[in-house]
A = this chain, B = another copy of it.
């Protein structure tokens, strides 16, 4: 396991399981430096002459833009491949061949793919570093890293916090990955969801087995006062086969001014975005609303990882 920043050189980023507390510290340290660099100078020329292949088998404007900006702010360039379904697949090309072709041109590959394991397959065949930018219901490790980095940057600590996660905890990939990363710290968990969207049993077991305090409730009102971190998620229509069920639960938990009146003064509201109706627009001016700063932290985390994988951190 890579746990110094130097040891990331040439590695792949496939799963949150690759990160222990030392590795997280190392990455967050570089990400914080990236933030300072961008805020002061707009960026740095660490990756000048380097090329990132941004291989997106399904659209994700947000994630692809974030990786693109991260590479560009380090002086690197990007080959954007957004319509893979139109090209290689129609000619029947395999993922391994696509990846081995791209590494002929590029220095690092970011891949998003609808199938679990696709990023690992890509990494297996590629000699160049591969970053998993989401493989279906699998992992999206840079999202979890930016989430945790946001907690650190906003509250200057992770140990000792109470983290309240809300919404679609069953299918929500971001919740699963962030929960795993948080097991490296001394935190208390509160999981808030409708019955049908509870956190998977194996994750609950992992949380409990590791000795963390953990409650599952259905009422956000009763726990909002305890939250240091309120992590909201979207109830994604894409995950439902029964749309009537979706309509019934989608507005279950909404963050608005009334709810936030009962929240602590020093706490943060996070959301991986896009939101649909989970957080009212009226909340956006509340200083506790951290979701756009969270978005920006995504760019810093990706800058840190790109620099680390290419041996320039």
Are A61 and B77 in contact, with the CB atoms below 8 A? no
Interface centre among A73, A98, A102, A104 (most CB of B within 10 A): A104
Q: Is the CB of B73 within 8 A of A49?
A: yes
CB distance from A137 to the nearest CB of B (A): 16
Contact A79 B83 (CB under 8 A): no
What distance in Å separates the Cβ of A289 from its nearest Cβ neighbour in chain B?
A: 11
What chain B residues lie within 8 Å of A100 (beta carbons)? 292, 295
Q: Do B51 and A41 touch (CB < 8 A)?
A: no
**Nearest chain B CB to A65 CB, angstrom units:** 5
Partner of A292, one of B84, B101, B292: B101
Alpha-carbon distance between A96 and B280 when the two chains are bound, in angstroms: 13
Question: What are 17 A-B contacts defined by CB distance under 8 Å?
Answer: A41-B49, A59-B83, A61-B88, A65-B105, A69-B105, A69-B106, A72-B79, A82-B83, A91-B234, A91-B238, A91-B276, A92-B274, A92-B276, A93-B275, A93-B276, A100-B295, A104-B295
The yes or no answer to A273 lying at the interface (CB within 8 A) is yes
- How many chain A residues sit at the interface, stated as a range, is 35 or more
Q: A53-B65, A65-B105, A66-B105 are in contact. List 6 more A-B contacts (CB 8 A).
A: A59-B83, A61-B84, A69-B106, A72-B79, A91-B274, A104-B299
For the complex formed, measure the closest distance between the CB of A108 and the CB atoms of chain B, giving whole angstroms: 12
Contact of A273 among B62, B66, B97, B274 (CB under 8 A): B97
User: A296, B104: Cβ atoms under 8 Å?
Assistant: yes
Q: How far is the CA of A292 from the CA of B100 in the complex (A)?
A: 7
Q: B104 near A79 (CB under 8 angstroms)?
A: no
Contacts of A238 in B (CB 8 A): 91
The residue on B at minimum CB distance from A97 is: B274
Q: How far is the CA of A4 from the CA of B107 in the complex (A)?
A: 32
Instruction: Please determine whether A60 and B42 come into contact, CB atoms closer than 8 angstroms.
Output: no
- B residues within 8 A CB of A91? 234, 236, 238, 274, 276
A81 within 8 A of B: yes
Q: Are A97 and B275 in contact (CB under 8 A)?
A: yes
Docked-complex contact B81 and A77, CB < 8 angstroms: no
Q: Flag whether A87 is at the interface (Cβ < 8 A).
A: yes
Q: Does A174 contact B (CB under 8 A)?
A: no
Question: B43, B97, B274: which contacts A93 (Cβ < 8 A)?
Answer: B274
* Chain B min CB distance to A47 (Å): 10
Q: Do B299 and A105 touch across chains, with their CB atoms under 8 A apart?
A: yes
A259 in the interface, Cβ–Cβ < 8 Å?
no
